[in-house]
Amino acid sequence: MSNLGPRRLRRDGIRELVRSVSIAPADLIAPVFVDATIDAPAPIASMPGQQRLPVDAVPAEVGRLSDLGIGGVLLFGIPSSKDANGSRADASDGVIQEALGAVGSTPMVMMTDVCLCEYTDHGHCGVLADDDAPHTMTVDNDQTLTRLASIAISHADAGADVVAPSAMADGMVGAIRRGLDGAGHAPVSILSYAVKFHSSFYGPFRDAADGAPRFGDRRQYQMDPQTPSSIDREVRLDIEEGADMLIVKPAMAYLDVVAQVASTVDVPVAAYNVSGEYAMLQAAAERGWVDATAAALETVIGMRRAGASMIITYHAETIAAALG
């Protein structure tokens, strides 16, 4: 009598039949960095395989990603100049607005990151409070809301389908929803970075998007990884304020959070496979220590298994090409 049990279902053919976790290019969202200061694509040193694009290269890139069946792109902008209020973020001739205009009508779902850190000269995600008394936070929450709503409206005016606020300002989803509705953009969805931890895994991105804080860090507004009790509250508030979809970020060290959020909310959840996670894998692959494509696929499968409907990942193109 054989001990054979679970292995029977791992025979060729049966293995594929019994699978319940799927992954398709349509589940993936590709971040795209658009840089107003360049006129040719520029590689990003800390993220091998990724580049910043000039505005006029964006339509072809979106077309290519669309042909691969990728579900959406998430645009990040590097502006022509920065100031304390991030004025270029909601300029009608700003880098994201121009990129959306250049792309025009497309089957691709066009998403935009709504934040101030790439646009402010101090590199924080909002407007700074004018005093630095110990009881005040560096970033003025309510002034920041006004800016975020205005940025979201300007992205929607330029053709964004989905806006993704990432500033971790309290009340940002409500402020943006009211702003969009008031400007005639009721159909534009909000994909909220609801659960965004203070993380070292954003390091390469800050280099890519030139958004590192010039002083201090983001602990006063991004979530503390050792305080899981804040997760439910952030999620509840964002849903109450009108978030259509939520992001959990980072993903790899936070798969427990992806699973928890996905099993408790009734809106779709996206896992954000962030820049540091991408860079680690690419670095190991460059040394021949892991197979980049296989490891990337395994990574996103883990996120799908945890319950993510969508995955924002710099591996989107590699994975989509591998899936065929």
252 vs 271, 277, 298, 304, CA distance in Å?
9, 7, 11, 12
Please report whether residue 139 would count as binding ligand PBG according to CB under 6 A.
Answer: no
Number of residues that bind ligand PBG (CB under 6 A): 12
CB atoms within 10 A of CB 103: 21
Closest to ligand PBG by CB, 31 vs 71, is 31
Nearer to ligand PBG, 115 or 320 (CB): 115
Query: Shortest distance, CB of residue 273 to ligand PBG, whole angstroms?
Result: 8
Name which position in 96, 115, 149, 245 contacts ligand PBG (CB under 6 A): 115
Among 132, 316, 101, CA closest to 220: 132
Query: Would you count residue 113 as binding ligand PBG (CB under 6 A)?
Result: yes
- CA 36 to chain centroid: 20
310 belongs to the binding site for ligand PBG (CB under 6 A): no
131-145: buried (b, 16+ CB within 10 Å) or exposed (e) per residue?
eeeeeeebbbbebbb
Residue facing ligand PBG at closest CB distance: 205
**Which of 63, 225 has the CB closer to ligand PBG?**
225
Q: CA-CA distance, 224 to 198, in Å (whole number)?
A: 6
CB 83 → ligand PBG: shortest distance, Å?
Answer: 17
Catalytic residue among 82, 249, 304, 315: 249
Q: Answer yes or no whether residue 275 interacts with ligand PBG by CB under 6 A.
A: yes
**CB closer to ligand PBG, 52 vs 218:** 218
Helix, strand counts (H, E) of the chain? 11, 10
Which helix (H) or strand (E) element contains residue 301? Answer: helix 292-306
Q: What is d(CA 23, CA 16) in angstroms, rounded to the nearest whole number?
A: 13
Phi–psi pair at 26, nearest 5 degrees: -65, -15
CB of 74 to ligand PBG, least distance (A): 9
Which amino acid belongs to residue 299? Answer: T
> For residues 102 and 164, is the Cβ–Cβ distance under 8 A?
no
Q: Is 125 in the site for ligand PBG (CB under 6 A)?
A: yes
141 binds ligand PBG (CB under 6 A): no
Phi, psi of 196 (to 5 degrees): -125, 115
271 touching ligand PBG, by CB under 6 A: no
Active site residue 249: yes
How many Å separate Cα 119 from the centre of its chain? 17
Q: Is 82 a catalytic residue?
A: no
Supply the minimum distance, in Å, between the C-beta of residue 198 and ligand PBG. 9
Provide the mask over 184-213, with x wherever binding to ligand PBG is found by CB under 6 A and - wherever it is not: ------------------x--xx----x--
- Report how far apart, in Å, the C-alpha atoms of 35 and of each of 51, 125, 184, 210 are: 10, 18, 29, 10
Q: Which of 102, 117, 153, 169 binds ligand PBG (CB under 6 A)?
A: 117
| Active-site residue list | 196, 249
Point out which residues bind ligand PBG (CB under 6 A): 113, 115, 117, 125, 166, 202, 205-206, 211, 218, 274-275
